[in-house]
Amino acid sequence: MIPDTVIVFKNRHLYTEDIASPQPQVYNLIKKYMALLTGTSDFFDETGSITKFTGRFFSHGVKPKYELKEIVAQCYLIGYKSLPLVGLTGFIMGLVLTMQLRPSLVGYGVESQLPVMVGIAIVREIGPVITALIFAGKIGSSIGAELGSMKVTEQIDAMEVSGTNPIKYLVATRVIATTLMLPVLTILGDSISMLGAYIGVNINSVTSLQFFFNQVFHSIGYSDVLPAVIKTVFFGFAVGIIGCYKGFNSSKGTRGVGNSANSAVVLASVLIFVIDLLAVQFTNLLGLN
């Protein structure tokens, strides 16, 4: 009995090899179309999973009893610890923007409008978006890597066994912290950018601090500041939830954790631009532009 089985198996194996060889092109073609189809379905799968994960955040994470101590700790780590980076990039951004804009404005003879232009550009668009992108790079990757590492070393399971809901303790605290801290960081970053812009203006001409800020504040209204700050709330939420989602769905191994951190930054950055696009449409509809 046993030798027969082996022969039958061998024959089947040979037969499979024989028929497989003349068809590589057909296989490749099918594979190619399947990859295209799979790519599309992966996008919808991912979107569905993120939506489900966000649903879990709202159903578990925002219910009392709140992890206040952990929220404060995360606000410190996420907000306060990001301040030097946001401040430095904001300062350079204001300085460079002023220096880049100056020659064009001089050409049109409206150099005196430099503080107004820089002010509006920073407060309305560049400040919130650049701060959010820096934030996504620093915090999104850090959350993705931290939770990814906790996931693969079973620390999240250990937390659950210890009677702690990981969505409440790990996700909600981080998402609340990113949502609260990014608007604050943006306001601080914008202010430091203005300081950079002031120094930029003074490289080529002498302008008093009072005159510079009078011009800036004269041109900026609530309709510039409020929509810009409100959209950073959504940016912060996106960075937090994507970082946590990627961490929670990390695959095993160092590559898995690395991928979580990397894809958290990429996806959060794309989402920031999508939210920005929606925000500008919305403010246009409301006549705030």
Partner 1 sequence: MEKDVVISIAHVRKSFGEKVILADFNLNIYKEENVVVLGKSGSGKSVLIKCIIGLLKPDSGQIIVLESDVTILSDDDLNEVRSKVGFLFQGNALYDSMTVRENLEFPLRRHWLDISEHEVDTLVKEALENVGLAHTTDMMPEELSGGMLKRVALARTMILKPEIILYDEPTTGLDPVTAREIDQLILNLQKKYHTSSIIISHDMNCVRNIADRVVLLLDGKCYADGTYDSLEHSGDKKINQFFES
Told to check if 42 binds partner 1 by CB under 8 A, we report no
Rounded Cα distance, 281 and 228, in Å: 13
Told to check if 210 binds partner 1 by CB under 8 A, we report no
Which of the ranges 22-30, 100-108, 125-133, 155-163 carries the binding residues for partner 1, by CB under 8 A?
155-163
Told to check if 162 binds partner 1 by CB under 8 A, we report yes
Which of the ranges 108-116, 147-155, 236-244, 270-278 carries the binding residues for partner 1, by CB under 8 A?
147-155
Q: In whole angstroms, how far apart are CA 42 and each of 34, 46, 47, 148, 250?
A: 12, 6, 8, 20, 16
**Closest distance between partner 1 and the C-beta of residue 147, in Å?**
12
Of 2, 6, 161, 206, the residue at the interface with partner 1 (CB under 8 A) is 161
**Closest distance between partner 1 and the C-beta of residue 152, in Å?**
9
Told to check if 281 binds partner 1 by CB under 8 A, we report no
Task: Identify residues 163-202 at the interface with partner 1 (CB under 8 A).
Answer: 163-165
Sign of the Cα pseudo-torsion (83, 53, 252, 155, in order): positive
Of 56, 160, 204, 233, the residue at the interface with partner 1 (CB under 8 A) is 160
A 10 A CB-CB count for 265 gives 23
Told to check if 155 binds partner 1 by CB under 8 A, we report yes
Of 40, 41, 59, 153, the residue at the interface with partner 1 (CB under 8 A) is 153
**Residue 47: is it exposed, middle or buried by C-beta count within 10 angstroms (0-12/13-18/19+)?**
exposed
- Nearer of residues 152 and 188 to partner 1, judged by Cβ: 152
Given the structure tokens 């027969």, which residue do they identify?
4
Which chain residues interact with partner 1 by CB under 8 A? 149-150, 153-155, 157-165
